[in-house]
Amino acid sequence: MALFGTDGIRGLANVDLTAELALDVAVAAAHILVEALGDTSKRPRAIVGQDSRASGEFLEAAVVAGLTSAGVDVYRVGVLPTPAIAYLVAETGADLGVMISASHNPAPDNGIKLFARGGEKLADSLETAIEARMGEPWQRPTGKDVGRVIEDSSAREKYIAHLLNTVDVSLAGLTVVVDCANGAASFVAPIALEKAGATVIAIASAPDGLNINAGVGSTHLDFLRAAVLKNKADIGIAHDGDADRCLAIDAEGNVIDGDYILAILAQGFKSRGKLTASTVVATVMSNLGFLMSMKDAGINVVKTAVGDRYVLENLLENNFTLGGEQSGHIIMREFAGTGDGILTALQLIAEMARSKKSLSDLAKIMKRFPQVLINVSGVAKEKLDLSSEIKEAVEKFEAELAGAGRILLRASGTEPLVRVMVEAQSDSIAKEIAEKLAKVVEEELR
């Protein structure tokens, strides 16, 4: 089984992801890094950060030990968002970035994300090379050749300054509730929003190592909704544990997911001549309402597989500027090379300030189609594309929808199941078709 998933290494800390494993990964990454440099006279540099999980303390220590023992200088930046590590790697010219985080997962989990030079996520080929080199015999440096540890106390201020430099309009007059998920956003988001001019009410902003994502953040929006309504705020912002995603709540308490945010930003970018080729990159899971709204706005949509790394790959390959996912991972290449939740929040609120419109008014750009998702488990997912009966059933139901809906069947990349997703003009229609299709999938692939 591969060690690296679609977003680095992730698992239960101290069981799946141990200090020993973290150290081995760091040593192997250092070896790959040194070889890639090709200049033994230059000391490689790495930036290492973490989110607020208690397990991040011992995992970060292990990563730092592995890197320095292999001759890499390490700049420790403490608790910062994942996109801050990506930014700092690019800005400082570092050779590697390591983020200890399990994103939106509960506190007992943790993970390791690696960034290459320029702040981009490590290519699959490099992850494979690192995994292959783990545990190999190696000659350990001694004396002056071992790496050193530098405490970078200025990293947070550098990142906040970068965020503020992306905003060209004051957010004065807007009240923002920001849910920091008791994670890395706690130490950045409220400060950045306040410095941009907004009146800020921070919630879930007191991490204790164990409360990250616990009933709060982008996967638990009820807490934020209640705070927005109670404080009569203009907008609520929800981040996940490492602040690489952003979801929102409008003043009426409605959820503004990544599709809405991407649509609003795409229209704003286009109006200012910043949307390359009038194209936005999304995934196959983007809502049909988003696709139709972009068509009406004269904006092309390129669809990729699910996962922000695939969105980024397409952006880079075609030199597009904007892309994202329904989950709230938004990538704006003018400002960052990875999804950045705090950057997204600032840009979304800036659209409100620039247009002098409420978030609910901006969100009228699209109408979300009801979506039903059924997971059919315990089936031979690899036979999905081979079944003529399933294909015929899909064609039949697509004909019934007559363009006023969408069907997507997708084999899970990690589990023995098939995801059946149906969008239609009403919940009842979507549910009926999804249940019928799920039954066909189960009968044919069981």
pLDDT above 80 for 295: yes
Res 438: pLDDT? 94
H-run or E-run covering 347: helix 341-355
pLDDT above 70 for 243: yes
Residues linked to residue 265 through DSSP beta bridges, in sequence order: none
Res 315: pLDDT? 95
- Over range 151-156, report the average pLDDT: 96
- Over range 57-69, report the average pLDDT: 98
- Over range 178-182, report the average pLDDT: 98
- Over range 22-44, report the average pLDDT: 85
- Over range 171-189, report the average pLDDT: 98
Strand duo 255-256 + 246-250: pairing: antiparallel
pLDDT above 70 for 413: no
Q: For 252-276, write each residue's pLDDT tens digit.
A: 999 999 999 999 999 999 999 999 9
- Over range 40-48, report the average pLDDT: 87
- Spatial neighbors of 161 by CB under 8 A, at least 6 apart, are none
Q: Which domains does the chain have, with CATH numbers?
A: 9-153 (3.40.120.10), 158-365 (3.40.120.10), 371-445 (3.30.310.50)
Q: Give the pLDDT band of residue 150 (cuts 50, 70, 90).
A: very high
pLDDT above 80 for 196: yes
Q: Work out the angle at residue 360's Cα, subtended by the Cα atoms of residues 359 and 365, and round it to the nearest 5 degrees.
A: 95
DSSP 335: T
Q: For 201-215, write each residue's pLDDT tens digit.
A: 999 999 999 999 999
| Residues designated as active site | 103
How much of the chain exceeds pLDDT 90, in percent? 82
- CA distance linking residue 384 with residue 403, whole number of Å: 23
Q: Give the pLDDT band of residue 144 (cuts 50, 70, 90).
A: very high
Distance set, CA 54 to CA 102, 186, 211, 328 (Å): 12, 15, 10, 25
How much of the chain exceeds pLDDT 70, in percent? 98
Q: Give the pLDDT band of residue 174 (cuts 50, 70, 90).
A: very high
Q: Phi first, then psi: what are they for 91, rounded to 5°?
A: -70, -35
- Over range 151-179, report the average pLDDT: 97
- Over range 284-300, report the average pLDDT: 94
Spatial CA neighbour of 312 closest among 326, 300, 299, 324:
324
pLDDT above 90 for 78: yes
Question: In terms of pLDDT, which residue wins out, 444 or 13?
Answer: 13
Res 180: pLDDT? 98
Q: For 391-402, write each residue's pLDDT tens digit.
A: 999 999 999 998
Q: For 333-345, write each residue's pLDDT tens digit.
A: 999 989 999 999 9
pLDDT above 90 for 73: yes
Mean pLDDT of the chain: 94
Res 417: pLDDT? 85
Q: Give the pLDDT band of residue 85 (cuts 50, 70, 90).
A: very high
Q: Give the pLDDT band of residue 331 (cuts 50, 70, 90).
A: very high
Res 59: pLDDT? 98
The model carries a pTM of 0.91
The 3-class secondary structure across 56-102, one letter per residue, is: HHHHHHHHHHHHHHCCCEEEEEEECCHHHHHHHHHHHCCCEEEEECC
